[in-house]
Amino acid sequence: MNQAEIRNYIENYFKAFESEFVESNDAYFSVELPIEVDKDLGNRPFYWTYVEKIGIPHNPLTLTFIFDREQTPEEIRGEELPFGSRRLHQIFESAKKHGKFARLYETPPNIPTGSLPSFPLTPWLCVNYKIEFICDQKRDLLLPLGINLISGQIVKDFYNQVNSLPLTPKLPNYTFTMQPIFGLESAANRLEQYIQSIVDKEDDEWAKQASRRLEEEKQLIEAYYCEEVNQRAKQGEEEEAEQLRQQVQDEKEMRLKELIWQFEPRIQVTALNTGLFYLRSQIE
C-alpha cells in the first residue's frame, strides 16, 4: 500500500466510527478518537480501567497522522504510517475486530413534499468467505455471498453490488423491514451447501499433484534415514546400535509429520465477516 491508499483506508476507518476530524489537509490530519477506537489505539489500558471504575468523564485522545512530511509545518507533531508500521497494524486489527458483523439499511430516495410513502426493506444475510486450497503451494478464493432471507436467492457477488448503494447504520425514516422467512442458521446452512457445490466443481488436479509430490518427498526421507541409521550404527558400539536406530526413527517421524503438514492437500473455508443488509434495490 502506498501513502494515498493508506490515507484513504484509515480515513474510512475513522469515518466508520463517526470520528471527529479536528484538522485535515493534503499533508496530514488530526482526529479525535471515539471510546472504542481509543481503547484499541490509545495504548492506555490503565487509564480506561480507572475511568470506568470511578465513573468519571473521559478525556478524548487526539492523534495526528502525517502523509507528506515536507508539506507539514514544523510545529505539527504526528505519526507517519509506512506500511508495516505498528500503528497501522493496530488499525488493521481494530477494523478486523469491529468489522466482523455489520447491520446496514439502504436509504430511500428523496421523498416528494407532502407525501409520506413507506418503503419496505428486504433482509439479506451477507457472508464474506475465503476458500483456501492448501498444500506446498496455496491459492485463495474470496466469495462475497448474499442470501435473500425471504426468497432464499443466493447472489455470488453480493458485496460489490451493494457497495455502491446509499447505506446507513440506522433505520431511515419512512421505511420498515420485512419479516424474514429464513432464520440465520438456516440461511448459513444454505450458503455452506452453496460453497460445497463450488468446491465440488473445482478441478482436483492440484491435489493429485500435491499428493504425488508428497509421496516423492516421503521416499527421499525414507532413503535418507535408512542410510543415516547405517552410518550412525557403524560409528557407535554394538550395544548403542538400537538406541541410535530409535533416535533416527524419532527424527524421521518428526520430518514426515512436517512433510504431511506442508504437502498434504486440504481445503479450508473461513467466514471473514458477516452482515445484515436491509435493501430496497433489487440484487441479482
pLDDT(210) > 70: yes
Same domain for 44 and 173, yes or no, is no
Which of 65, 98, 131 marks a domain boundary?
98
Same domain for 89 and 132, yes or no, is no
* Cβ atoms of 167 and 121 closer than 8 Å: no
What is d(CA 191, CA 152) in angstroms, rounded to the nearest whole number? 10
pLDDT (tens digit, 9 = 90+) per residue, 138-148? 899 999 999 99
Classify 174 as helix, strand or coil. coil
Same domain for 40 and 131, yes or no, is no
Same domain for 76 and 177, yes or no, is no
Same domain for 72 and 213, yes or no, is no
Same domain for 21 and 152, yes or no, is no
Same domain for 166 and 262, yes or no, is yes
Q: How many domains does the chain have?
A: 2
Residues 259-264 have a mean pLDDT of 88
Same domain for 81 and 185, yes or no, is no
Same domain for 128 and 243, yes or no, is yes
Which of 70, 98, 126 marks a domain boundary?
98
Cα atoms in the Cβ-side hemisphere of radius 13 Å centred on 180: 18
Same domain for 78 and 136, yes or no, is no
Give percent of the chain with pLDDT exceeding 70.
92
The helix-helix angle for 241-263 and 205-235 (nearest 10°) equals 160
Query: Counting Cβ atoms within 10 Å, is residue 27 exposed (0-12), middle (13-18) or buried (19+)?
Result: middle
pLDDT given for residue 128 in this prediction: 92
pLDDT(70) > 80: yes
What is the value of pTM for the model shown?
0.68
Residues 238-255 have a mean pLDDT of 74
pLDDT given for residue 223 in this prediction: 82
- CA torsion sign for 222, 226, 227, 228 is positive
pLDDT (tens digit, 9 = 90+) per residue, 19-51? 999 999 999 999 999 999 999 999 998 999 988
Residues 191-219 have a mean pLDDT of 91
Torsion of Cα atoms, 273 then 275 then 279 then 284, to 10°: 40
pLDDT given for residue 125 in this prediction: 96
pLDDT given for residue 99 in this prediction: 79
pLDDT given for residue 151 in this prediction: 95
What is d(CA 171, CA 121) in angstroms, rounded to the nearest whole number? 10
Q: How confident is the model at residue 241 (pLDDT cuts 50, 70, 90)?
A: low
* Cβ atoms of 127 and 270 closer than 8 Å: no
Residues 241-267 have a mean pLDDT of 83
Which of 98, 130, 158 marks a domain boundary?
98
Q: Supply the range of the domain harboring residue 43.
A: 3-98
Closest to 29 measured CA to CA, from 44, 45, 15? 15
Give the cell for residue 98.
469491529
Q: Could you give the C-alpha distances from 200 to 33, 175, 197, in angstroms and in order? A: 47, 41, 5
pLDDT given for residue 266 in this prediction: 92
Same domain for 238 and 284, yes or no, is yes
Which parts of 163-236 are beta strand (E)? 167-168, 175-177
Task: Return mean pLDDT, the chain.
Answer: 87
Closest to 142 measured CA to CA, from 265, 267, 270, 266? 270
Same domain for 138 and 276, yes or no, is yes
pLDDT(124) > 80: yes
